[in-house]
Amino acid sequence: MPIPERLKPTFVSTRPVGPDPIKEGRKRLIVALDVPNAQAATGLVDRLEDQCQWFKVGLELFTAAGPAVVEALVARGYSVFLDLKFHDIPNTVAGAVRSAATLGARMITIHAAGGPAMLTAASAALDGLADPPQLLAVTVLTSMDAAQLMAAGVDRAPATQVELLARMGFEAGIRGFVCSPKEVVALRGLTGPEGVLVVPGIRPAGADAGDQKRLATPSDALTAGASYLVVGRPITQAPNPAKAAEAILEEMAKAIAPRGQSQSL
Ligand code: C5P
C-alpha cells in the first residue's frame, strides 16, 4: 500500500527547517489520550490545544466513548491516531481496518504478530480508498522486555523479534511500524527514509518509566530516526500538561533543527 502523500516523512532531506522548529516538533508529537471517558479527553485536549496537533485514541478511551470521540477530534481539526491494535483472523481484521478507515483517523494499528495472512488482508483492506489512513504494524510492545517475551513463549531478544515482525510486515506491503526507540535504527534500515516509524516508550530524562521497559528520551528517539513520538503519561499526568508538552517540544526542536529534518504532512 503506498504511503499517503501527506504522511511521507522526508528524513534524508537537507531542506532547511522552517523558521519555527517547535512547529516542526508539533507535527511529530502524538499525545496518548489514555483517559476513561470523553469528558476527560476533552479536558486534556482543551489544555493542550496550543501545543498539540496529534492525539492518540487507544483502547481505554475508545471502549468507553466509541467512534464519536474520534469524530469529535477530527471535527476540531486534529489529526487522530486510532490505536486499537487489531489482532484476529485475517477476515475479521480486514473488516475492522475498513471500519476504522471510515472514522477519519490518519493512523491505525494492527498487531504484526497476527501473521503474514492477517497483515496482507489488513493492507489489502485499504486498497482503493481515496485517502486511506497510514496502516501501522505494532511489533513488540514497549512494555515487553526479554523476560516478558520469554514468558510468552518467544525465546528471542526483543530487538530480534521486532526485526522479524517488521520484515514480515514489510513483505506484506506494510510501510508503517510501531517500535520502541531501541529498534528505530534497525527498522529505518529496513524501510528506508519513506517508512513511517511511530515510537512510544518515550520518557524525558528523569521521568517515571511506569510499565514501559524499552525507553528513550524524545531527543534520542528522533536522532535515531523516529518519524513520530507517542507520549502519554509524561504529559497527561503532569501537574501542568501544557508545560510538560512544551518542554518535550523544545527538546524535539533541538534534535530536529541541526539535521534539517522535516515532515510533510
Ligand atoms: O503513558 P505512555 O507514554 O507510556 O503511553 C504510551 C502509549 O503508547 C500508550 O497509549 C500505549 O498504549 C501505546 N503503545 C505502547 N507500546 C506500543 C504500542 C503502543 O506503549 N508498542
CA–centroid distance, residue 236 to ligand 1 (Å) = 12
Q: What is the pLDDT of residue 18?
A: 60
Ligand 1 centroid to residue 202 C-alpha, Å: 9
Count of CB atoms situated within 10 Å of the CB of 95:
15
How many whole angstroms from its chain centre is CA 224?
Answer: 15
Distance 257 CA to ligand 1 centre (A): 26
Ligand 1 proximity of 32 Cβ (cutoff 6 Å): yes
For 265, other C-beta atoms within 10 Å of its C-beta total 15
What pLDDT is attached to residue 262? 44
Separation of alpha carbons 223 and 65, rounded Å: 36
Q: What is the domain partition of the chain in residue ranges?
A: 22-256
**Substitution site in 44, 230, 248 for ligand 1 pocket (most atoms within 8 Å of beta carbon):** 230
CA dist., res. 25 & res. 249, Å (int): 6
Question: Do the strands 9-10 and 262-263 form a parallel or antiparallel pair, or are they unpaired?
Answer: antiparallel
Closest atom of ligand 1 relative to the 141 alpha carbon: 21
- Looking at residue 21, what is its pLDDT? 87
Beta carbon of 200 within 6 Å of any ligand 1 atom: yes
Tell me the HSE value of 235 on the side-chain side, using a 13 A CA sphere. 31
Work out which ligand 1 atom sits closest to the CA atom of 139. 21
pLDDT in tens, 26-71: 999 999 999 999 999 999 999 999 999 999 999 999 999 999 999 9
Cell numbers placing 25: 516538533
Beta carbon of 183 within 6 Å of any ligand 1 atom: no
| pLDDT value for 20 | 81
Identify whether the C-beta of residue 111 lies closer than 8 Å to the C-beta of residue 136.
no
pLDDT of the residue at 11: 36
Predicted pLDDT of residue 265: 32
Closest CA to ligand 1's atom 19: 200
Ligand 1 probe mutation, 29, 34, 61, most atoms within 8 A of CB: 34
Active site residues per annotation: 85
Q: How far apart are CA 235 and CA 244, in angstroms?
A: 5
Q: CATH for 22-256?
A: 3.20.20.70
Rounded Cα distance between 104 and 12, Å, is 29
Task: Please give, one letter per residue, the 3-state secondary structure of the chain.
Answer: CCCCHHHCEECCCCCCCCCCHHHHHHCCEEEECCCCCHHHHHHHHHHHCCCCCEEEECHHHHHHHCHHHHHHHHHCCCEEEEEEEECCCHHHHHHHHHHHHCCCCCEEEEEHHHCHHHHHHHHHHCCCCCCCCEEEEECCCCCCCHHHHHHCCCCCCHHHHHHHHHHHHHHCCCCEEECCHHHHHHHHHHHCCCCEEEECCECCCCCCCCCCCCCECHHHHHHHCCCEEEECHHHHCCCCHHHHHHHHHHHHHHHHHHHCCEECC
User: Which of 81, 85, 142 for mutating ligand 1's site (highest number of atoms within 8 Å of CB)?
Assistant: 142
Ranges of the chain with pLDDT below 50:
6-16, 260-265
Query: How many other CB atoms are there within 10 angstroms of residue 178's CB atom?
Result: 30
